[in-house]
Amino acid sequence: MSSSPQTAPALPSARSAFGFEVGHRLEDTAAVPGERAAANGGRFGGRTGTITTPHGTIATPAFVPVGTQATVKAVLPEAMKELGAQALLANAYHLYLQPGAEVLDAAGGLGAFMNWDGPTFTDSGGFQVMSLGAGFKKVIDMSGAGAAGDDDVAAGKERLAHVDDDGVTFKSHLNGDLHRFTPEISMQVQHRLGADVMFAFDELTTLHNSRGYQEASLERTRRWALRCVAEHARLTGERAGKPYQALFGVVQGAQYEDLRRRACRDLAAMDFDGYGIGGALEKENLGTIVRWCTEELPEDRPRHLLGISEPDDIFTALENGVDTFDCVSPTRVGRTGAVYTPDGRFNVNTARFRTDFSPVFEGCDCYTCTHYTRAYLHHLFKAKERLSATLTSIHNERFIVRMVDGARAAMADGTYFDYRDEVLGRYYAGRA
Ligand SMILES: [Zn+2]
């Protein structure tokens, strides 16, 4: 089944449809005051750039909103475009189970299927196979607390995924049917889904796993990456005529510097178009771990951080050299009534907004804030109307897009650290 990268067929010239160019480097453009520079050992890998795909370009750094099931929940694609989203990320695991990758292939790929003409990403399915499958629900326990265990299953959950050296057998969270993902199957599924950017199939570990398990897992992920590259090359040749799909390798290694750096060097030696930084990341180590990775990874390839959410984490990632990241929070918290503002997050459900006829925040240029009041949103939530999720999601997605647009502009004009401190200082002052 496995073939070495030496024997993999060369990718056709269609590959030139994907590319990445670095623009401004944070180190070159920002006047870094001593205190802030010291905080990071004086090294900042942040940069602006442009990712080119067959479905358009992405100005980086960029936030990639999540449309798990080929839809950003409750939001029309036209609204996503209007609020400034440059690309969308869908989940291979969900689309494989329902409606099936062959349906998207027949529709002309993910973008055509969901009426989104911009760039698209799919993850490999690894995260969902192992996180949903192992019963951790949607969020891997990243607390790092408690006893280390290599057979962790969230309390009260049946283990639904089994990892072996060849792949993962798991039960569908929809109906319990048994399925199997291998690196080859993940590549076949993602080629049929047709996104512009795909991710290699990797094993996700948690901070509860022992050091020994992390080492064994990382080696498994390395061998799976080689198999993904080979299968990707085969499929790219077989499906000539389809738009080129870029493949990103995924860096694991948990909280261990030597493992993270080794993983980056291993993946850098393979034929990837870009890289994903994955795995359990503790908030306090996020910047350090991202920096280990960006120091090792090739400068001329884009780096995507898989799944972060809080504004401070976003800035930490960007200044340490992350070009794109995905984040499900704006819609997830929006559906519960939580809205972001420059002064922090608040919940529009609460009684004090019943007769508040101001927008979510004055000065927001989103569709929701330019047309509706807090009182109206409050009413929609109380009445359990579906428009509530649509309007809060539009506002929240716009908030993150605008924040990252601001970071990109500030990196380009040399004011990044002032911008960051102003945004985060205000957001966490908690006046909302
Ligand atoms: Zn707004």
In tens, the pLDDT along 164-182 reads 999 998 888 888 888 999 9
The pLDDT, as a whole number, for residue 32 is: 56
Does the pLDDT of residue 6 top 50, yes or no? Answer: no
Q: Is the pLDDT of residue 15 over 90?
A: no
Q: Any catalytic annotation for residue 117? A: no
pLDDT at 33 (0 to 100): 56
CA dihedral 78, 79, 81, 86 (to 10 degrees): -130
Residues having C-beta closer than 5 Å to ion ligand 1: 360, 364, 366, 368-369, 395
326 has catalytic annotation: yes
Q: Please give the pLDDT value at position 122.
A: 98
Domain assignments of the chain as residue spans, ordered by start: 13-327, 329-432
- On whether 202 is known to bind a ligand per the annotation, the reply is yes
Quick one: pLDDT band at residue 11, thresholds 50, 70, 90? low
Q: How far is the CA of 81 from the centre of ligand 1 (A)?
A: 15
CB count, 10 Å around CB of 164?
10
**Is 335 within 8 Å of 365 (Cβ atoms)?**
no
Q: Quick one: residue 90, left, alpha or beta (phi over 0 = left, psi -120 to 50 = alpha)? A: beta
Nearest residue to 15 (alpha-carbon basis) of 224, 235, 223, 275: 235
Percent of the chain at pLDDT exceeding 90: 75
| Residue 349: predicted pLDDT | 95
**pLDDT the model gives residue 149:** 55
The Å distance, Cα 152 to ligand 1 centre, comes to 41
CA-CA distance, 345 to 428, in Å (whole number)? 9
Annotated ligand binding at 177? The verdict is no
pLDDT score of 307: 85
Tell me which of 98-112, 237-251, 273-287 is least confident.
273-287
d(Cα 113, Cα 216) in Å, to the nearest integer? 39
> What separation in Å is there between the alpha carbon of 432 and the centre of ligand 1?
14
User: How confident is the prediction for the chain on average, in pLDDT?
Assistant: 89
Q: What is the pLDDT of residues 338-377, one digit of tens each?
A: 999 999 999 999 999 999 999 999 999 999 999 999 999 9
325 alpha carbon to ligand 1 midpoint, in Å? 21
264 labeled part of a ligand binding site: no
Amino acid at 294: T
* pLDDT above 70 (res 390): yes
How far apart are the C-alpha atoms of 373 and 368, rounded to whole Å?
8
> Which runs of E-coded beta strand occur in 321-412?
324-327, 338-341, 344-347
CA of 52 to the centre of ligand 1 (A): 29
Pairing status of strand 338-341 against strand 344-347: antiparallel
pLDDT for 203 beyond 50: yes
Flag whether 356 is marked binding.
Answer: no
- Confidence class for position 27, pLDDT limits 50, 70, 90: confident
Helix (H) or strand (E) holding 168: strand 168-171
Closest CA to 45 of 415, 306, 309, 411: 411
Give 346 Cα–ligand 1 centroid separation in angstroms. Answer: 13
Collapsed DSSP state (helix, strand, coil) of residue 199:
strand
pLDDT for the residue 31: 52
pTM beyond 0.85: the answer is yes
What is the tens place of the pLDDT at every residue in 92-149? 999 999 999 999 999 999 999 999 999 999 998 887 887 765 444 333 443 444 444 5
What pLDDT is stored for residue 139 in this prediction? 35
pLDDT of residue 280: 76
Catalytic position from the list 28, 105, 123, 300: 123
Residue 395 annotated as part of some ligand binding site? yes
- Residue 150 is predicted with a pLDDT of 61
What confidence tier does 162 reach under pLDDT thresholds 50, 70, 90? Answer: confident
Select from 3.20.20.105, 3.30.200.20, 3.30.300.10, 3.30.300.130 the CATH code of 13-327. Answer: 3.20.20.105
